[in-house]
A and B are shown apart, each in its own frame.
Chain A
Amino acid sequence: MSDSAPPIPFLATVGLACERDRRLLFDQLELHLQPGDMLQVAGPNGSGKTSLLRLLAGLMPPTEGSVLLAGKPLAAQRTELARSLLWIGHAAGIKGLLSAEENLAWLGALNRCGSTSREAIWTALAEVGLRGFEDVPCHTLSAGQQRRVALARLYLAPPPLWILDEPFTALDKAGVAQVEIHLARHCEQGGMVVFTTHHSLTEKARNFRELDLGLRAA
């Protein structure tokens, strides 16, 4: 990377502060995200990890400061953000009454991203180890399997920026390892991943960073 005139970061925060129920979770948060970056947001429970992720995804207005997408405020960049963002929250938007295939087809269409063809969805489901569960209603799947359905979206030619809240919850060891490798590979190919987890990663991208909100508050 050249040291003169740094490029405009893809996603940045300027003096970001977040207050919930009159408690200041964090303030003056400066964050830069470039293609290839992998950012793990860490910290104890209640330190504002999910809030930070929701701020970055534009789901919540910041108390102070702003989030910039390609140098412009997020509020003015809704379509740009939608085009480049894949958001999987703690609740992943999976409908228990629908099958894994129906869920993925709808979410794919909603996000205008990737392929929503039957073959692509079946391949993605096979990737996350759900071969044979394509047309089973999701509420009959285990918590880990439901999480896998949500994570199958990561295999459907998704947009560059992934914001994932606790993606490893309820996954077994093999599942965690596989998703870690997939996240790292996405970053190596120029994607960006911001995520929270309490796991310590074994597979990291080259530009891996950790932001500990607990340390900042101390």
Chain B
Amino acid sequence: MSNVFLLLAMHEARLLCRRPAELANPLVFFAIVIALFPLAVGPETQLLQGISPGLLWVAALLAVLLSLDGLFRGDFEDGSLEQWIVSGYPLPLLVLAKVLAHWLFSGLALVLLAPLLGLMLGLPASALPVLVLSLMLGTPVLSLLGAVGAALTVGLKRGGLLLALLILPLYVPVLILGSGALQAALQGLPATGHLLWLASLAALAVTLAPFAIAAGLTIGVGE
């Protein structure tokens, strides 16, 4: 059973590697949005530093959402989802493997890119570990929640906007905790509380979201 989990994760990773442009798009989007702000609000370091926690988190959140549209649509259209369902393996396990592979290539890349963009906004180096850690805990939650929306909109030809409307409200707790952690770090306060909350959200999402995703996909295929 864990065998098929690894095989699917590798299968997905291989598919993602064959479409590098699609992987790069959310990262470029993330970088451009961050780069736009100094142009729009002016280059004062004080101001940019003050708004950087919210900025980085909103941009990361939108980048993750962007990468998730159509997460399952290809599998739906080419019949892969049907093969998953008839395989008899627990569907939540299979979708978890898929989302994990997707996160490794999009969410994790985002986490690694974020410190660079943070420095660009004048974030002090001392706040960078908190930035990385909060994104590391937060982006899996964003990916998993977004995958629930992607599963529910799998049968729609153009589900992009609907996906955003469905999922953005659910992102609010992650956004508050993530930018809160960074805000605290900027003011020299401990960010542990926020990070622990984020970690518990991540644990909840990893255990519960796959069931919701699987249910959404089963409905989509059964239509």
Contacts and interface: CB of A to CB of B under 8 A. Distances in A.
A58 B80 CA distance: 15
Contact of A93 (B7, B80, B88, B222): B80
A217 interface: no
Interface string A99-135: 0001000110111100000000000000000000000
Given A78-B88, A106-B7, A109-B7, A61 B222 contact: yes
Given A82-B86, A93-B79, A97-B15, 8 more contacts: A57-B82, A59-B82, A59-B221, A82-B88, A93-B80, A93-B82, A97-B18, A106-B7
Q: Is the interface of A mostly helix, strand, loop or mixed?
A: loop
A201 interface: no
Contacts of A87: 82-83, 86
A178 B24 CA distance: 45
A95 interface: yes
A165 B215 CA distance: 24
Contacts, number: 72
Given A57-B86, A97-B19, A90 B4 contact: no
Interface of A: 57-61, 78-79, 81-83, 85, 87, 89-98, 102, 106-107, 109-112, 137
A98 B88 contact: no
Contacts of B78: 91-96
Q: Is the interface of B mostly helix, strand, loop or mixed?
A: helix
Interface residues of B, number: 23
Nearest to A84: B88
A59 B78 CA distance: 15
Interface of B: 3-4, 7-8, 11, 14-15, 18-19, 77-80, 82-89, 221-222
A75 to B, nearest CB: 12
A79 B1 CA distance: 13
Given A82-B88, A98-B15, A109-B4, A90 B221 contact: no
Contact of A106 (B11, B88, B222): B11
Contacts of B88: 78-79, 81-83, 112
